[in-house]
């Protein structure tokens, strides 16, 4: 079979790409009749990105699990990591103990090679003294950011404890949503799955503000994974990354995991990565 000239190869790549100004980032010999690949439409959408969610560490920490998640996240190299809270054991008024617990946690998190976004759970901010320590270390207990035209809402479900969204917090997110109507998706993170609470927590007001836009919700707290469909959207309750669990398995929603999110134009694709299934290169050596 006659081979194409280098100019012909380049021209064919341009035709395959459908663009004469941006050839694909590959140098490969393309034959006219047959080639040993399916196509050259590479999965390289510049608007697509990946990040990870880390789940409950405490409520009964099992040593070593969260620690292993840190180096496994460095293996996976997400663009950033989002927490859903319960990072320390908390529930104490002892200032020295609170400091010790946060020092330990931050020492682990600082091993990450990518940004880590904190979010408070009931174990992290359960009383006024702990709320004060949160402010000293991290400032705001609720906030938002926009990344590649995706809006991230990080709620504090203990404002004030137990289980409430303050009027100020609801007004804050009302303003944020008004000012970010053109985003392609909205992702909501909170520790407690407020849509499951019987009492009025203020969540229904936030939910009403979300109406009319595509969004997805992530929470934790129960230590048991479950996917809910509500108002035409997906609401996830995540399991654990070291928090107390009987580890009965996926069929019971009881397992240690990281959540891997690939953000696409159709919304987030969710993959649950079991910690036991993430292995480094030295799993077996000569």
**pLDDT tens profile 81-104:** 999 999 999 999 999 999 999 999
Where does CATH 3.60.21.10 sit in the chain?
49-281
Residue pair 192/221 in contact by the 8 Å Cβ criterion: yes
Residue pair 209/175 in contact by the 8 Å Cβ criterion: no
pLDDT score recorded for residue 14: 44
Backbone angles phi, psi at 284, to 5 degrees: -155, 130
What residues have CB less than 8 Å from 40, skipping those under 6 apart? 13, 16, 17, 24, 26, 28
pLDDT score recorded for residue 25: 79
For the chain, residues with pLDDT lower than 70 are 1-24
- Burial label, 168 (beta-carbon count in 10 A; 0-12, 13-18, 19+): exposed
pLDDT score recorded for residue 230: 98
DSSP 3-state assignment of 172?
Answer: helix
Nearest to 54 by CA among 34, 68, 36: 68
- Long-range Cβ contact pairs of 127-131 (< 8 A, separation 24 or more): 127/91, 127/93, 127/161, 129/93, 129/95, 129/98, 130/90, 130/92, 130/98, 131/160
Q: Is 231 left (phi over 0), alpha (psi -120 to 50) or beta?
A: left
- Alpha carbon distance 8, 12 (integer Å): 6
pLDDT score recorded for residue 24: 65
DSSP 8-state assignment for residue 2: P
The CATH number of the domain covering residues in 49-281 = 3.60.21.10
Determine how β-strand 215-219 pairs with β-strand 185-189. Answer: parallel
Half-sphere exposure of 52 (CA within 13 A, CB side): 26
Residue pair 115/228 in contact by the 8 Å Cβ criterion: no
What residues have CB less than 8 Å from 26, skipping those under 6 apart? 13, 40, 42
DSSP 3-state assignment of 170?
Answer: helix
Nearest to 64 by CA among 99, 108, 114: 108
DSSP 8-state assignment for residue 160: S
- Specify the length of the chain in residues: 286
């Amino acid at each position: 079979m006659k081979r194409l000239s280098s100019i012909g190869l380049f021209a064919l790549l341009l035709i395959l790409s459908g663009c004469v100004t941006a050839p694909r980032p590959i140098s490969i010999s393309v034959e006219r009749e047959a080639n040993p690949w399916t196509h050259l439409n590479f999965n390289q959408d510049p608007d697509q990105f990946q990040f990870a969610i880390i789940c409950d560490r405490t409520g009964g920490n099992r040593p070593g699990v969260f620690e292993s998640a840190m180096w496994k996240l460095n293996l996976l190299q997400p663009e950033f990591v989002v927490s859903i809270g319960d990072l320390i054991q908390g529930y104490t008024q002892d200032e020295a103990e609170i400091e010790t617990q946060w020092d330990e946690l931050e020492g682990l998190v600082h091993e990450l090679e990518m940004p880590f976004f904190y979010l408070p759970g009931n174990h992290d901010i359960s009383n006024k003294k702990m709320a004060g320590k949160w402010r000293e270390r991290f400032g705001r207990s609720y906030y938002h950011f926009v990344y590649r035209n995706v809006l991230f809402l990080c709620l504090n479900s203990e404002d004030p404890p137990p289980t409430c969204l303050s009027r100020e917090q609801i007004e804050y997110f009302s303003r944020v949503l008004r000012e970010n109507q053109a985003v392609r998706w909205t992702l909501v993170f909170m520790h407690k799955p407020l849509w499951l609470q019987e009492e009025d927590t203020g969540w229904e007001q936030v939910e009403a503000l979300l109406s009319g836009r595509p969004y997805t919700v992530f929470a934790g707290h129960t230590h048991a994974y479950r996917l809910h469909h509500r108002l035409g959207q997906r609401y996830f309750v995540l399991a654990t990354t070291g928090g107390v669990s009987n580890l009965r398995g996926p069929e019971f929603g009881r397992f240690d995991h990281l959540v891997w999110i690939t953000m696409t134009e159709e919304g987030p694709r969710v993959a649950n990565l079991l910690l036991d299934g993430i292995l480094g290169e030295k799993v077996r050596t000569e």
